[in-house]
């Protein structure tokens, strides 16, 4: 058995090479921690085989669509994808995060192990849904500290590449729906598992697209056009920031952040 990165290692490396620290919220610890989070008890052959292949696909997906960058300033774009490969990759990350965080519904992902590992037993499109969204860049009023290493455009826009995995949206749990999101810089991908949904699945899809301004991705497609959800990355992070400061406390969290070791940014040359 081996240990697998919850967030794929190439994403940690990209952040480090960009001069950005690896830090995030840990559900089990109920605290902000640094370093590269891993999950134990992963089959070595799986980690080095199908799971590694999924990470390879995910890396190519982000690069080819222009998202693996510290300067994604678009408010609309076209995205190309292999639906099943992308869904398997996102479900793999979501599964590992749910298990590592001790989330009570993580066992639901067991039903999709063969799909994640082998690409067989493909879930029905009404049972598992995938949605895309992109955030708007932030318009800065002043200058960032020099040591921040966050790239800023000539017209003072910034859109740093951070990876964030959201917990299940609590409002959906009583309805038997699991919905998790992963943020890859300006791109975010939500998956919804509606196997035990108590409400109409088509109604759920319409409401999510309308209220969150995200795009439902049809399993039979390989490309789509997407426009910004209307919020920037800071606005979408507000709720999580409130949880972190409320749980850890302003003084302790600010001390942690101020003591962060900022990695040296690698030259692009």
Does residue 58 lie within any of the structural domains? yes
**For residue 129, how many other CB atoms are within 10 A of its CB?**
23
Does residue 140 lie within any of the structural domains? yes
Does residue 268 lie within any of the structural domains? no
pLDDT of residue 77 exceeding 90, the answer is yes
With H, G, I as helix, E, B as strand and everything else as coil, classify residue 191.
strand
What average pLDDT score do residues 181-196 get?
Answer: 92
What average pLDDT score do residues 87-95 get?
Answer: 95
Between CA 182 and CA 96 the distance in angstroms is: 12
Instruction: Determine the pLDDT at residue 161.
Output: 86
Does residue 269 lie within any of the structural domains? no
Instruction: Determine the pLDDT at residue 246.
Output: 56
For residue 70, give its domain range: 2-258
Does residue 267 lie within any of the structural domains? no
Percent of the chain with pLDDT over 90: 35
C-alpha dihedral over 267, 73, 181, 252, to 10 degrees? 60
Mean pLDDT lowest among 47-51, 221-225, 230-234: 47-51
Does residue 117 lie within any of the structural domains? yes
Per-residue pLDDT band for 17 (boundaries 50, 70, 90) equals confident
Contacts of residue 195, defined as CB under 8 A and 6 or more positions apart, other chains included, come to 108, 111, 127, 128
Into how many domains does the chain fold?
Answer: 1
Exposed / middle / buried, residue 44 (Cβ in 10 Å: 0-12, 13-18, 19+): exposed
Between CA 220 and CA 213 the distance in angstroms is: 21
Does residue 44 lie within any of the structural domains? yes
Q: How far apart are the first and last CA of the chain?
A: 39
Instruction: Determine the pLDDT at residue 85.
Output: 97
Between 125 and 245, where is the model more confident? 125
Between CA 262 and CA 269 the distance in angstroms is: 20
Does residue 123 lie within any of the structural domains? yes
């Amino acid at each position: 058995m081996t240990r697998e990165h919850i967030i794929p290692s190439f994403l940690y490396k990209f952040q480090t090479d960009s001069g950005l620290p690896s830090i995030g919220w840990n559900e089990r610890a109920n605290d902000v921690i640094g370093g590269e989070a891993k999950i134990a008890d992963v089959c070595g052959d799986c980690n080095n085989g199908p799971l590694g292949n999924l990470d390879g696909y995910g890396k190519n997906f982000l690069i080819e669509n222009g998202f693996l960058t510290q300067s994604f300033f678009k408010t609309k774009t076209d995205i190309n994808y292999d639906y099943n490969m992308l869904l398997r990759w996102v479900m793999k990350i979501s599964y590992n995060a749910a298990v590592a965080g001790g989330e009570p519904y993580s066992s639901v992902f067991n039903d999709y192990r063969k799909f994640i590992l082998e690409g067989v037993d493909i879930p029905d499109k009404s049972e598992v849904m995938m949605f895309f969204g992109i955030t708007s860049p932030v318009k800065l009023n002043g200058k960032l500290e020099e040591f921040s290493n966050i790239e800023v455009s000539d017209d003072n826009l910034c859109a740093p590449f951070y990876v964030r995995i959201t917990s299940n949206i609590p409002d959906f749990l009583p309805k038997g729906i699991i919905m998790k999101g992963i943020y890859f810089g300006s791109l975010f991908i939500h998956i919804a598992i509606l196997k035990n949904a108590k409400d109409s699945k088509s109604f759920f899809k319409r409401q999510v697209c309308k209220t969150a301004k995200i795009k439902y991705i049809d399993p039979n497609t390989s490309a789509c056009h997407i426009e910004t959800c209307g919020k920037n990355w800071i606005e979408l992070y507000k709720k999580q920031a409130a949880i972190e400061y409320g749980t850890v406390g302003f003084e302790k969290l600010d001390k942690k952040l101020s003591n962060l070791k900022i990695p040296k940014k690698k030259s692009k040359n």
